[in-house]
Amino acid sequence: MTVLVFLDPRHPEGRIADAAAPALLATDLGATRGDGVFESMLAVGGQPRKMGAHLDRLAASAHTLELDSPDRGAWERAVATALSEHLLRAGTGEAVVKLLLTRGAEGSDAPTAWVSVSPVPAGARERSSQGLAVVLLDRGYDSTLAERAPWLLLGAKTLSYAVNMAALRYAKANGADDAIFTSSDGKVLEGPTSTVILAVEEDGVKTLLTPELESGILPGTTQRALFDAAEAAGWALGYGPLEPVHLMEADAVWLVSSIRLLAPVTSIDGTPISSSPALTEELTALLHEAL
C-alpha cells in the first residue's frame, strides 16, 4: 500500500500517481546513475515528524549535488496530499514518508520529484529494540577526506545507497544485524542507515556522544532532536572523534534513525558490550517528547 504524489507545476497540491503503474522515464538519471537525493521521515496519525529538519537536509543535499529542488512549499503540499490519501486508504498507522529528487530524464533540465508514503514495515522497530549485533566495516577512506574531496558528496543523502545496502547484506551474511562504518584512520563513522550514539557516565555527569560531522557522515535528524532534548534534560553532549574502544567501553550504544528510532547495540564484532534498558527507555521517552 504505497501512495505516490509527484511534484508537478501543473498540480500545485501534487499529482497523485498509481504506485503499481510505471511512472518514471527509463532515462531518468536517478534510475540510471543514482544521481539524486532523498529523505525518509516518520509520520504518525497522518502528521510528519521533524519535517522542517528533513526539508533542510534535503535542500542541503540538493545544494551539494548542484540540483534544483522545488521550493519548500511544493514539498509540504505534496506531503500533505500524500498523507491524507494514505490516511484514507490505510488508516492512521505509522507511515514512512520518502521525498525523492533526481536530476530528471537525460537531456531534460527538469528535475523529477516525488513523495511516497507507505506503512512502517511490521515488526522492524520491535526486532531492533531487542538489541543489535553489529559488525565494524571499513569504509576505506580517512576521516578528513570530506573536506578535501567535495565531489565524493560525503554528508549528502544521495540516492547512491547500493554500498550501504551491500554493507547491510554483508553484516547479515556474517551473522550480525547491522553495521557501523569505520574510517581508514580508525574512527567510528555511522551505520549504513543510522547515526551512532553512545552514553557514558563519569563523576555523576551523564554524556551523550556521537561522531563529528566533519568526518563526512550524514547529519542525523534523530540524533539532533535527541541531543537537543537530552541537553534540556541535563545531559552533557560531545562530538567525536570516537574510536571502536569508546564503543566497547561505553555504558550503552545505539543506532538511531527516523523510522527505527533508538536501537540498542548489544555486541560488536561478536563481543558483548554494555547496554542499558533503563537508558534506552529514558532516551526514547525524551525523543518521543521532542518529535
Ligand X SMILES: Cc1ncc(COP(=O)(O)O)c(C=O)c1O
Positions that interact with ligand X (CB under 6 A): 40, 190, 193-195, 218, 220-223, 256-258
Nearer to ligand X, 78 or 168 (CB): 168
- Shortest Å, Cβ 40 to ligand X: 6
Helices and strands, counts by H and E, the chain:
9, 14
Nearer to ligand X, 29 or 58 (CB): 58
Residue of closest CB approach to ligand X: 222
Beta bridge partners of 133: 267
**CB 18: neighbour CB atoms within 10 A?**
10
- Strand segments (E) across 173-248: 178-182, 195-202, 205-210, 236-239
Query: Which pairing describes strands 178-182 and 195-202: parallel, antiparallel, or unpaired?
Result: unpaired
Nearer to ligand X, 102 or 221 (CB): 221
- Shortest Å, Cβ 167 to ligand X: 10
- Shortest Å, Cβ 105 to ligand X: 26
d(CA 95, CA 243): 35
Nearer to ligand X, 65 or 105 (CB): 65
- Shortest Å, Cβ 69 to ligand X: 17
Grid look-up 514539498 returns 75
- Shortest Å, Cβ 233 to ligand X: 19
Cell of 277: 534498558
- The 3-state DSSP composition of the chain as helix, strand, coil percent (nearest 5) reads 35, 30, 35
Nearer to ligand X, 89 or 169 (CB): 169
